Amino acid sequence: MRRSKLVVNCQPLIIPHLQKEVEDLGYRILRKDRTGLTVEGGWKEVMHLNMNLRSASKVLWLIKSFEANSPDALYKEAKKIPWHKLIPKDGFISIQSFVKNDHILDTRFANLKLKDAIVDKMQEENGFRPDSGKERDRTVLYLYWYLNKVYVYFDTSGETISKHGYRKIPFKAPMLESLASACLTAADWNDQKGTFINPMCGSGTLAIEAALMAAGIPPGWKRKNFGFMHINGYDPSLWKEEVAKVEPNLKIKSTIIASDWNGDALKAAEANAKLAGVNHIINFERCSFEKTFVPSGKGVVMLNPEYGERLGDEGPLQQVYSEIGDFFKQSCKGKVGYIFTGNLSLAKKIGLRPKRRIEFMNAKIDCRLLEYELYEGSRKK
């Protein structure tokens, strides 16, 4: 595969935080839209991005773009691509797509036409037809067809990189790892060496992501399979070089504390942290959020309380949010407080004015990460 345009996708509203990540990794952004950034690269860049990006969903490698105004035209143009040189002859392909035009009512039909073009070409050149299906553990392709413009990509991630591989016990309504990472980036945690405190930790995603950031452990470090490993030309030695670049700092200076009153939640969080390799970095406490130990000095306190959409009714939660406000005011002075919530009416019960309201989506729920400066004395002082 030659150098080409690489499109890094993410969930809606994460794009500003993904942009910071990509630029911090040294890339020049060629284009930005609502859910993706375009950069340029080849094998090394594909591996580097898949290894290091925390808030992304996938990394797409452009194979070819062309115009097609019908399914037959899609087939004809796609069949011109030398698939027999790109995909292992005994391979397995999976096709994902976004299609919006007048000729396709069901994206599965567009996927079928692309699949037919690929396997027919490979049959003609190699005498073999690769198998296909929904599984994304081998060669994955992505079709973007808008009006008459078609872009065909390799999905070099395969299985999404928004999941970081350690969360085997999710507990209740967990926050996706990429979303947790974006919240931490928004809070500038990746630039801090202070204390991170996560009351109501649930299955521990926020605390684990904070620990991984502090220790310099990239999300792809222990992952064994990516989509790029099933493209002809893949050189395992290049991936070994990328893995060897990682130098975790498991003696970090940051203090990370995670607490929950629910013993099952805490067991899940500890098990997930162990799988992530950061269980010795996080201090787990079983207690109600207001009794969480808060060390003196600067730091971040971040909570992801229930907000009545999926887990509980709004009524009983009003007192919880009010008590969170009291906890901030009484126990967290000198820190920066954050609440991630999908219920702004409940957030008003906190009784503090947020300095920032950062927009996010959690699944289909419109959410905010609310930032509070928790002064030690008066604001003027």
**Is residue 76 classed as helix, strand or coil in its secondary structure?**
helix
| Sequence-ordered alpha helix ranges (H) in 54-172 | 71-78, 83-86, 107-126
Choice between 380 and 116, residue whose per-residue pLDDT is larger: 116
Residue 81 has pLDDT above 70, yes or no: yes
Q: To the nearest whole number, what is the mean pLDDT of the chain?
A: 92
pLDDT score for 168: 80
Question: Using one digit for the tens of pLDDT, what is the confidence trace for 117-154?
Answer: 999 999 999 888 899 999 999 999 999 999 999 999 99
pLDDT band at 375 (very low <50, low <70, confident <90, very high): confident
Enumerate the domain spans of the chain.
Answer: 4-155, 177-217+228-373
State the pLDDT at residue 336.
96
- CATH class held by domain 177-217+228-373: alpha beta
Residue 364 vs residue 92, higher pLDDT: 92
Helix, strand, coil percentages for the chain (3-state, nearest 5): 35, 25, 40
Instruction: Evaluate if residue 171 carries a pLDDT over 80.
Output: no
Residues contacting 118, CB < 8 A, separation 6+:
78, 81, 83, 87, 93, 130, 141
pLDDT on residue 311: 52
pLDDT at residue 253, as a whole number:
75
Tell whether the model's pLDDT for residue 381 goes beyond 50: no
Q: For residue 309, is pLDDT > 70?
A: no
Structure confidence at residue 169 as a pLDDT band (50, 70, 90)? confident
What pLDDT was estimated at residue 249?
82
Residue 377 has pLDDT above 80, yes or no: no
Is 216 or 1 the better-scoring residue by pLDDT? 216
**Which pLDDT tens digit goes with each residue over 212-251?**
999 999 999 999 999 999 999 999 999 999 999 998 887 7
pLDDT at 20 over 90: yes
Backbone φ, ψ for residue 14 (5° rounding): -85, -10
Confidence of residue 92 (pLDDT cuts 50, 70, 90): very high
What predicted TM-score, i.e. pTM, was given to this entire model?
0.93
| Mean pLDDT (whole number) for 87-95 | 93
Q: At which residue do the structure tokens 């808008």 appear?
A: 146
Note the pLDDT of residue 307: 83
pLDDT reported for residue 24: 95
Give the pLDDT band (50/70/90) at residue 313: low
Distances (CA, A) of 225 to 7, 43, 215, 325: 20, 15, 23, 44
**Is 4-155 CATH 3.40.50.2300?**
no
The answer to whether 88 touches 229, Cβ cutoff 8 Å, is no
pLDDT of residue 290: 95
Residues 172-185 have a mean pLDDT of: 91
How many Cα atoms occupy the beta-carbon half-sphere of 228 within 13 Å?
27
Task: Copy the structure tokens of residue 23.
Answer: 């630029």
Q: What percent of the chain has pLDDT over 70?
A: 96
Q: Express as a percent the part of the chain with pLDDT over 90.
A: 82
Please give the pLDDT value at position 191: 64
d(CA 253, CA 240): 29
Span 26-33, average pLDDT: 97
Quick: pLDDT tens for 194-207.
899 999 999 999 99
